[in-house]
Amino acid sequence: MKKLINSLIVLALVGTAISCSNSESGGKSNKGALASSAAEKVYVAPGEHDEFYAFMSGGYSGNLTVYGLPSGRMFKEIPVFSQFPTSGYGYSEETKPMLNTSFGFVPWDDAHHPDISQTNGELDGRWIFINGNNTPRIARISLTTFETEEIIEVPNSAGNHSSSFITENTEYVVAGTRFSVPIPQKDMPIKDYKSNFKGSLSFISVDPEHGHMDIKFQLMMPGFNYDLSHPGRDKSHGWFFFTTYNTEEANSLLEVNASQNDKDFIAAVNWKKIEEYVNNGGGTMMPANYAHNVYDESTHTATTTMKKEVLTVDPLKVPGAVYFLPTPKSPHGCDVDPSGQYIIGNGKLSADLTVHSFDKMIAAIEAEKFDGEAYGIPILKFEDVLAGTVKSGGLGPLHTEFDGKGNAYTTFFISSEVVKWKLGTWEVIDRKPTYYSVGHLMIPGGNSRKPFGKYVVAMNKITKDRYLPVGPEMEHSAQIYDISGEKMELIYDFPTHGEPHYAAGCPAELLKNNAKKIYRLDENKHPYAITSPDQAKVERKGNEVHIYMSTIRSHFTPDNIEGVKVGDKVYFHITNHEQDFDVPHGFSMIGQNSSELLIMPGQTKTNTWEPKKVGVWPFYCTDFCSALHQEMQGYIRVSPADSDIELSWSLGED
């Protein structure tokens, strides 16, 4: 074992050494890029629009950021799994339920892999899904409002990493567990992991009309780590592929103990077969407890439903549904080419890429040529399913995307590079350094039948000297390569937010004309909405004070309120009566144990305040909405708890 630890240390050091040497060539390559037409290629003139949207996962920010390509300009941060004071998401009464889980209110997560909805294997621009890795959840974000509309918790899962990938008609968003756990959870010795823990792969159906998610079934797999996954497409539609590591089922020092087997597996799951089994009454309903949070655009309000059971499927009960494809050296990325023929497993401790053939896999299954089994699941022979090996010469392959022109692009973490190679011949065509330690990469549509192979974005884990230093930690860096020619050309660096693990991109044309500009007031069904400022009012219900407030440039109605007492709980229900694009108003109250609210035109939002001190306390608009934004303010008089001052409110009166 000591030997293996040593060799891992050497591997780690090699990585560092390569990073350092890149540091020098980084400077040179910059000059090279400037000397060429690179600047022209990323220049989007003032007032002009980018050609592509790029949605970058925010990693430990819990959010999703929206960028333009090729400019690298950030347009929006969409709050998903984390409270976001910039808009009040997760603070307002309407959005707090979005962050409910079976563990209570969880205001943070680790967002990893966004994927855009598809129809017939092509991006359709309706929704984007992303996983919460830490407290397993899947979110659906509308690509008209660019807001999170739904979050479903995934029970029996832990480290929701091989997620959230979409089948080619958005039948399912798939979420696989990274960590295996006791299912159901129970108090037991950790050392009894082997053969007792299980890994769940969840197939979450998506309602084609509204996008609502529901866990159709969970496949209870052996206790391996399920790392990444991708759907089959075209000819392999109906299958899903998951990389595994820790097939050793180690429970400690995985760095060493999960690197013993020469080959781990890609699990090939025929979900159509399991769907049929389930539709015919198959599977076992199991007690569970998980949150399903849905935001309603007409009431501008989210509600939580706690679900109490989940359908589980034992793979051994559905013969022909699951096979293991041996794949060298703890594979990480699991990518399927646009034709659906090739399944690429990137062995992160290997120098070579393994490409499996879907046709060969089917032939081997039909011939029943197995090489043993693991927990009853047939293992196919490596040689029987192998389409080819890419001898790349790089180190630490992680992820692969496709350009739709017969080429694949693979990132190498240790040797810090992107390698372009040809599907079918496996020859390496080009390689370019990345700065530094690249993880995922993204070509718009690169995970679909129809990629838009003009740019590839490399998402780097280490930034070092790429930007001006800002203390011990730098924002992660992304790099854009022009891939329209035979050779890749590095054309731009831009900082990203949080830690982008993966990204999804699409042509701007697909989304820009559908983007919502306002919420219509006449469609506002919020129970505390007021349809015009003259309906503004203040009501007392015991110690609760409900303020139905209106905002319009540049005042609140009402703006003077008296009769509030220490010990009250004040609800500000604020309707923005603007019907103009890009005119939100903000609201904030001194001493409030919450964030501000940002209320979109036509929307109603609520936050609360529990006044603790007697006095006259101001509130104001936080968003610079007009020339008289600074005048957009008001006062609340707070009297002692035993005061008999009547509740009253006014605007513009002496």
Q: What residue ranges bind ligand CUA (CB under 6 A)?
A: 554, 585, 621, 623-625, 629, 632
Task: Give the single-character DSSP code of 265.
Answer: E
CB 621, min distance to ligand CUA, A? 3
* Residue among 164 and 606 whose Cβ is closer to ligand CUA: 606
* Residue among 514 and 532 whose Cβ is closer to ligand CUA: 532
CB 624, min distance to ligand CUA, A? 6
Q: What is the DSSP string of 266-296?
A: EEEEEHHHHHHHHHTT-SEEEEEEEEEEEEE
- What whole-number distance in Å separates Cα of residue 493 and Cα of residue 346? 26
CB 164, min distance to ligand CUA, A? 37
Give yes or no for a contact between 359 and 341, defined as CB atoms under 8 angstroms apart: yes
Task: Report the 3 state secondary structure along 489-547.
Answer: EEEEEEECCCCCCCEEEEEHHHHCCCCCCCCCHHHCCCCCCCCCHHHCEEEEECCEEEE
- What whole-number distance in Å separates Cα of residue 175 and Cα of residue 573? 37
CB 329, min distance to ligand CUA, A? 57
Structure tokens at 610: 């529990």
Give yes or no for a contact between 203 and 170, defined as CB atoms under 8 angstroms apart: no
Whether the link from the prior residue into 208 is cis, omega within 30° of 0, is no
* 569-576 and 544-552 beta bridge pairing: parallel
* Residue among 570 and 625 whose Cβ is closer to ligand CUA: 625
- Start-to-end CA distance of the chain, whole Å, equals 84
CB 632, min distance to ligand CUA, A? 4
* Residue among 375 and 624 whose Cβ is closer to ligand CUA: 624
* Residue among 432 and 585 whose Cβ is closer to ligand CUA: 585
CB 627, min distance to ligand CUA, A? 10
* Residue among 60 and 620 whose Cβ is closer to ligand CUA: 620
* Residue among 162 and 622 whose Cβ is closer to ligand CUA: 622
Give yes or no for a contact between 112 and 125, defined as CB atoms under 8 angstroms apart: no
372 sits in the region (left: phi over 0; alpha: psi -120 to 50; else beta) called left
- What whole-number distance in Å separates Cα of residue 152 and Cα of residue 183? 19
* Residue among 171 and 623 whose Cβ is closer to ligand CUA: 623
Closest residue by Cα to residue 258 from 203, 324, 314, 332:
332
- What whole-number distance in Å separates Cα of residue 641 and Cα of residue 618? 19
CB 598, min distance to ligand CUA, A? 10
* Residue among 454 and 585 whose Cβ is closer to ligand CUA: 585
* Residue among 78 and 625 whose Cβ is closer to ligand CUA: 625
Structure tokens at 607: 């936050």
CB 79, min distance to ligand CUA, A? 21
Give yes or no for a contact between 168 and 182, defined as CB atoms under 8 angstroms apart: no
Give yes or no for a contact between 412 and 347, defined as CB atoms under 8 angstroms apart: no
Cα R_g (the chain), whole angstroms: 27
Whether the link from the prior residue into 70 is cis, omega within 30° of 0, is yes
CB 547, min distance to ligand CUA, A? 17
419 sits in the region (left: phi over 0; alpha: psi -120 to 50; else beta) called beta
Name the 3-class secondary structure at 457.
Answer: strand
CB 520, min distance to ligand CUA, A? 20
- What whole-number distance in Å separates Cα of residue 560 and Cα of residue 579? 25
* Residue among 477 and 576 whose Cβ is closer to ligand CUA: 576
CB 557, min distance to ligand CUA, A? 12
